[in-house]
Amino acid sequence: MNYWNKLLHLAQSRLRISGFWLGILSLFLSNNLIAQTQNTDNQYRKPLLQVLKDVETRFNVKIKYADPQVKDKWVNYADWRFRGNVDETLANILTPLDMKVNKEKPGLYKLKEYEYYRWEVQDGWNYLDSLATKYTDQASWEKRKAQIRPELYKALLLDPLPAQPNSKPIITPKRVMDGYTVENIAIEILPGVWINGSLYKPLNVKGKVPVILSPDGHWEKQRYRADCQIRCATIARMGAMAFSYDLFAWGESQLQFKYEDHRRSLAQTIQTLGGIRILDYVSALKETDKNRIGISGGSGGGSHTVLMAAMDNRIKLSAPVVAMSSYFYGGCPCESGMPIHQCAGGTDNVELAAMAAPHPQLIVSDGSDWTAHTPQHDFPYLQKMYGYYGVKDKVENVHLPEEKHDFGINKRIALYDFLIKYFKLNGNAVNDKSGRYDESKVTIEKENALYVFGDKGEKLPKNAVMGFENLEKLFYSTTSK
């Protein structure tokens, strides 16, 4: 070591060589220094970038990565991690760094950070099978449910629930459409914190009517999107109320919090508290049929749907769309940021979905995401669970193998059919002459028409909590009392 350092010093001070050649010499010496230190004293340490290049050369593959992913990362015992095949080698190298690769095609890999929420399909199935050994009949399953449910509240820091602010909902003037009305509503769920949404009602409400909570997912424009408005308005035209609401730090919630705050773990807690408070609100409406309260959301809203139905027995029907999977726990902290999946010794989203039994449940899946294998394993598990109650047919799966991750027309049709079947909605009110659903009479409103707090947030109350740090202080001070 001293020899090489002296040589470098001599090159700098006496030979007065050019910067270019000094760089070449430095690189040469650096490589030799690494070679000199490849021993146990140095843990056979190599830069990750160099190790990945060695993998590419040895196995004749290509690994895609961004510079920040490999910068300043080192692999201990690097050469010792190589095995006879590239997949095992990459796993040995990357696992200690909390990284992985996705195999895009034979010979081509993409470097990824470790995704705790994404499992191999067979791993997810095996884990669900192990969970299923904990119960064999209705009685043992009910005992398992009684373990899981209170722990969900604790995991979300909602045991006990924070006190509800003594304030009335903020409601905008009602807008009258063809067969339905819309009014925007903000419900204060913590002092200075609101969950906002739009309530779609049948134009002429007679007697008690169902309510469908409609949280939406991570798609662009969320509840302002055309297909979300179409879905909720069509449900209203069939004779039910539909409450479409924002996820945390989406929509008008961004008047108070940043987009990045949606990816904080506490987002799942605030989001769930918002869903509970909306349930409180709609349950107290004079026109609500409390025996016909349902929930249906897609994607991240589908994960929220599963969780809400598992936690709150006031929900009598659920329909998670392109969401539920035994090998995918939700790629956003608003779905898996809090330790809900560690409850009762460990659970997953399919077991949580089973907690809705014996209430009717529709699982909508497609062929392009983590629901692609739903009919093969997850749905049969749910049928077995519903069979414990003698109502195996009350859980249904509409699988659309040629479709992608969205809440498109065929997914909406599946939901409409299910609501007509179990909540007795009037399909004839939205059918055309051929008997098909006609969504053309729905008015697609501009985004700002669905705001509660004005076009530029000018109507946001003065006591509004601003910023995530202030929300954290408020939440923990409220729940510690």
* Section 394-423 average pLDDT: 98
Mean pLDDT computed over every residue of the chain: 93
pLDDT for the residue numbered 479: 82
pLDDT for the residue numbered 334: 94
Q: 185 with 196: CB under 8 angstroms?
A: yes
* Section 262-283 average pLDDT: 97
Q: Among 61-65, 183-187, 217-221, 311-315, where is mean pLDDT lowest?
A: 217-221
Q: Model confidence at 49, in pLDDT bands (50, 70, 90)? A: very high
- pLDDT, tens digit, 9 for 90 and up, residues 243-257: 999 889 999 999 999
Residue 329 CB burial class (10 angstroms; 0-12, 13-18, ≥19)? buried
In which element (H, E) is residue 179 found?
A: none
DSSP secondary structure of 286-328: TTEEEEEEEE--BTHHHHHHHHHHHH-TT--EE--BS---SSB
| pLDDT at 9 > cutoff 70 | no
Scan for tokens 């030979």, then name that residue.
15
pLDDT for the residue numbered 481: 61
d(CA 217, CA 295): 13
pLDDT for the residue numbered 39: 87
* Section 328-352 average pLDDT: 96
Q: Model confidence at 15, in pLDDT bands (50, 70, 90)? A: very low
* Section 144-167 average pLDDT: 97
| pLDDT at 31 > cutoff 70 | no
pLDDT for the residue numbered 32: 54
- Closest listed residue to residue 323, CA positions, set 314, 313, 332: 332
Q: Model confidence at 45, in pLDDT bands (50, 70, 90)? A: very high
pLDDT for the residue numbered 228: 97
| pLDDT at 33 > cutoff 70 | no
* Section 176-189 average pLDDT: 98
> For the chain, what percent of residues have pLDDT higher than 90?
88
* Section 324-350 average pLDDT: 96
- pLDDT, tens digit, 9 for 90 and up, residues 232-241: 999 999 999 9
Say whether pTM exceeds 0.85: yes
